[in-house]
């Protein structure tokens, strides 16, 4: 009989786990809780009672309520095996840092981060987080098929566009690139989160007369992204911080060349050959003649694919169940 794994995510945000859950079902009986208005605390209690191991994703919302209130007052739940995965987000929110201070570390059997750098930030606040392990997010390669391409002129910026994504920086660097070759185009895919950035983008395009050079496409569903990316050549990241950069890996799996700002910890995920720190190196990464799409896919497949790396999650969960 398979061990029962219950996954509970704050705000039902399983974006980084959905494909991993599918793969884990080969070895575990996995239930992913979807909390809605009809969900009662009794429903959650029953699922927890039946589970051998509980994976809490994001330390926010219902996860905070359960780990701080429920687990501390119901002693029999302390016998449950508990995994908690903490992301960059929680460690940059004063509200959640305050909640983490109330968490009893001994009820967490395995604390998980997706990067060493985020782990170091966690330790700087809470020394007990030294016991945490680092396991990267993984990509389902079958959902991002490879498309071979020649070196071209379409740059892609992908993701939920917030201040962290550093839109002004990439616009400025792209404009420098245009001065050298006017054939380049910048495609921005993803909802722009802060309204100020919408006006900034419109103002930038208008005053520099870049209409037709910079295109904002809004949100494109994940299942449509591979088709869209067939016409793209570079995946550009200007973020001031990323936990890992899943969107970059998805684009690389399709064959796009990565051009990534060397955000804190980027060097632990990506080769130095695709990193930059200033405009000069950004332009150099784009215009250098070396362009090898299959190499980009191979990198993701070897290091971050579910097909080759799901054992990292399987072994982690089995180790918790075995008491290791």
Please report the DSSP string for 14-71 in residue order: -TTTHHHHHHHTTTSEEEEE---TT--HHHHHHHHHH-SEEEEESSSHHHHIIIIIIH
Q: Which pLDDT value is given to residue 37?
A: 80
Q: Which pLDDT value is given to residue 258?
A: 98
Q: Are 246 and 16 in contact (CB under 8 A)?
A: yes
Q: Which pLDDT value is given to residue 191?
A: 96
Cα(149)–Cα(133) distance, integer angstroms: 38
Q: Which pLDDT value is given to residue 294?
A: 98
Could you tell me if residue 218 is left (phi over 0), alpha (psi between -120 and 50 degrees) or otherwise beta?
A: left
Q: Which pLDDT value is given to residue 211?
A: 96
Compute the residue count for the chain: 324
Domains belonging to the chain, first-starting first, are: 4-138+306-321 (3.40.50.2000), 141-304 (3.40.50.2000)
- Whose CA is closest to 91, among 129, 55, 63? 129
Cα(127)–Cα(139) distance, integer angstroms: 31
Q: With the CA atoms of 202, 205, 207 and 209 taken in that order, what torsion angle do they form, in degrees rounded to the nearest 10?
A: -150
Q: What residues pair up with 189 in beta bridges, in sequence order?
A: 158, 218
Spell 308-321 as b/e; 16+ CB within 10 A means b: ebbeebbebbeebb
pTM, whole model, 2 decimals? 0.94
Q: Give the list of residues 6+ apart from residue 129 with CB closer than 8 angstroms, or none.
A: 86, 111, 119, 122, 123
Q: Which pLDDT value is given to residue 35?
A: 84
Q: Which pLDDT value is given to residue 75?
A: 60
Q: Tens of pLDDT along the chain (324 residues)?
A: 899 999 999 999 999 999 999 999 999 999 999 888 888 888 888 899 899 999 999 999 999 989 987 765 566 566 789 999 999 999 999 999 999 999 999 989 999 999 999 999 999 999 999 999 999 999 999 999 999 999 999 999 999 999 999 999 999 999 999 999 999 999 999 999 999 999 999 999 999 999 999 999 999 999 999 999 999 999 999 999 999 999 999 999 999 999 999 999 999 999 999 999 999 999 999 999 999 999 999 999 999 999 999 999 999 999 999 987
Q: Are 306 and 138 in contact (CB under 8 A)?
A: yes
Give CA angle at 248 (5, 304), nearest 5°: 45
User: Residue 302's Cα: distance from chain center in Å?
Assistant: 18
């Amino acid at each position: 009989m398979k061990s029962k794994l219950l996954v509970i995510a704050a705000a039902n945000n399983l974006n980084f786990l959905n494909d991993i859950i599918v793969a884990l079902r080969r070895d575990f009986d996995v239930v992913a809780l979807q909390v809605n208005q009809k969900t009662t605390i009794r429903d959650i209690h029953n699922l927890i009672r039946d589970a051998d191991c509980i994976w809490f994703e994001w330390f926010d919302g219902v996860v905070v309520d359960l780990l701080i209130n429920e687990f501390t007052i119901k002693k029999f739940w302390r016998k449950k095996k508990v995994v908690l995965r903490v992301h960059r987000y929680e460690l940059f929110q004063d509200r959640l840092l305050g909640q983490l201070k109330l968490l009893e570390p001994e009820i967490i059997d395995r604390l998980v981060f997706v990067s060493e750098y985020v782990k170091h930030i966690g330790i700087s606040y809470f020394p007990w987080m030294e016991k945490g392990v680092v396991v990267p997010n993984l990509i389902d390669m079958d959902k991002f098929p490879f498309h071979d391409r020649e070196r071209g002129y379409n740059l892609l910026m992908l993701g939920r566009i917030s201040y962290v994504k550093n839109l002004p920086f990439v616009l400025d660097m792209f404009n420098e690139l245009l001065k050298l070759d006017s054939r380049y185009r910048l495609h921005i895919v993803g909802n722009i989160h802060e309204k100020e950035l919408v006006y900034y983008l419109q103002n930038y395009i208008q005053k520099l007369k870049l209409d037709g050079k910079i295109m904002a496409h809004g949100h494109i569903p994940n299942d449509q992204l591979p088709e869209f990316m067939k016409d793209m050549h570079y995946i550009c990241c200007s973020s001031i911080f990323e936990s890992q950069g899943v969107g970059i890996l998805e684009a690389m799996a399709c064959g796009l060349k990565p051009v990534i700002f060397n955000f804190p910890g980027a060097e632990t995920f990506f080769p130095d050959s695709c990193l930059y720190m200033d405009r000069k190196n950004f332009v150099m990464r784009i215009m250098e003649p070396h362009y090898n799409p299959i190499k980009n896919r191979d990198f993701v497949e070897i290091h971050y694919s579910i097909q080759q790396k799901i054992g990292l999650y399987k072994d982690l969960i089995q180790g918790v169940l075995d008491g290791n």
